[in-house]
Structure 1
Amino acid sequence: MKFLLKSLCFAAALTFSLSTNAQAIFSPGLYSTGEALKKPRVMKPFVEFSKARKMPELKIKNLKGEPIKLESLKGKLVILNVWATWCTPCIREIPQLAELQKKLAGTNIELVGVSIDANPAEVEEFLKKHKQTDFKTWFDTTTSVEAVMPMEVVPTNFLLDAKGNLIGYLPGFLPWDDENILPFLKVLEKKYVPATK
């Protein structure tokens, strides 16, 4: 009986922890995203939600330490690439991500890194050392991204629609230079960023 009570208490605590630490994933759906898009093999890890979710407010800052509001990116398909300097797969991705950021210039797709390292100055030094200062990244030193969903792996990418709602995620390393990725991102853009007249 005592074991059963302990198990129930643990389960309740875990559920509370997950629901409070992962506001977006457990929030009620805002709208149906319709039929899931057919993805190329390289995008197999991408999970497109059947219902869009409200994004929690993240405590992210730019290189100058100024707060960033995701509202500033409304009207675009946004890919938040959560990474860290101690993450080997992240380091492998950065040159490819920086190149993709250049290719996305002038589109309604915004790809930006979100470093969860504790010290932004060390991240700047890291990017200089690896000759990747062109990689656009922000900082989340308090790991507020944990409010989106439990972070099981870094890197993880969160995808937002034109209104800033969470429409999917992509966990783990991805070869961002694969020729099938950019066309798929453009299909996502067409679905989640309404055409303006």
Structure 2
Amino acid sequence: MSTVSSLFTLGNAIRALLIIGLIAVFGVVVQSCQKPKSGLERLSVASLSKLTVLETPPPQPDISFSSTTDEVMHLSDYRGKVILVNAWATWCPPCVAEMPSLNNLQNQKGGEDFEVITISLDNKKEEITEFFDKNGIDALPSWHDGTYQINGLLQLPGLPTTVIYDRSGREIARLLGEAEWDSPEALALVDYLIARSNN
């Protein structure tokens, strides 16, 4: 009985409180020493939670693509705009699922400062036109890469992959997988990137 009561003495209680207090202070110090989140990291929430910012992003490669009407495009043609490059294919279910939200994003934010660029890896260009017509995709370009060079040059781990470039062609961030590109967080991300690149 006396052994049990001696464990719960005032001295032991004070020591326990001091230890708990020191642990709490240590936790606060460690947290305050962590690198603060950047604007992009703060916006990487909800459907954009897989958005990653690379420490040393690769330079924008010199890639050319053709449209369903045989027009030729180079990524460098879009310098001066923030661009969201989405690699996709009609045979990829997550790509198909996010395409309407990319179309909405282009309708809402596309213009002088921002552009959504979709590049299909389908076997035939006609598959893009058929898909766009059938699904009411009316704001996105029908660029096509029949050579699959985009996989290596953009270092794509899979489809869909979205790469975002600033006005000078520097990669800002990328997202592997499907996202809701017309969600409030995506619209806020685009506004942030446009405002940041104007400074």
Per the normalisation by structure 2, the TM-score is: 0.73
Aligned-pair identity (%): 25
Instruction: Give the match's secondary structure for 1:183.
Output: helix
Q: Which residue of 1 aligns with 2:45?
A: 41
Q: Which residue of 2 aligns with 1:189?
A: 194
Q: Deviations over 1:107-135 (max 9, x none)?
A: 51111111011210122122222232443
Question: Counterparts of 2:111 and 2:187 in 1: how far apart (Å)?
Answer: 14
Whichever residue aligns with residue 45 of structure 1, its letter is K
Check conservation: 2:129, 2:142, Cα contact below 8 A. Answer: no
**Offset, 1:66:** 2.1
Q: Which residue of 2 aligns with 1:81?
A: 86
Are residues 125 and 159 of structure 1, via their aligned partners in 2, closer, same or farther at CA, if it must alter by over 3 Å? same
Q: Given the alignment, which residue of 100, 105, 123 partners 1:100?
A: 105
**Offset, 1:155:** 0.7
Residues 34-183 of structure 1: pairs in structure 2 closer than 5 A: 35=38, 37=40, 38-42=42-46, 43-183=48-188
The more displaced of 180-189 and 123-132 is 123-132
Tell me, which stretches of 5 or more residues in structure 1 are unaligned?
1-33
The root-mean-square deviation of aligned C-alpha atoms, in Å, is 2.0
Q: Which has the larger radius of gyration?
A: 2
Tell me, which stretches of 5 or more residues in structure 2 are unaligned?
1-36
The more displaced of 172-181 and 57-66 is 57-66
Q: Deviations over 1:173-195 (max 9, x none)?
A: 0012322210112112223x234
Question: Counterparts of 2:126 and 2:111 in 1: how far apart (Å)?
Answer: 29
Are residues 50 and 115 of structure 1, via their aligned partners in 2, closer, same or farther at CA, if it must alter by over 3 Å? same
Question: Counterparts of 1:40 and 1:49 in 2: how far apart (Å)?
Answer: 13
Question: Counterparts of 1:111 and 1:152 in 2: how far apart (Å)?
Answer: 20
Q: Which has the higher helix share?
A: 2
> How many correspondences in the alignment?
161
Question: Counterparts of 1:106 and 1:127 in 2: how far apart (Å)?
Answer: 20
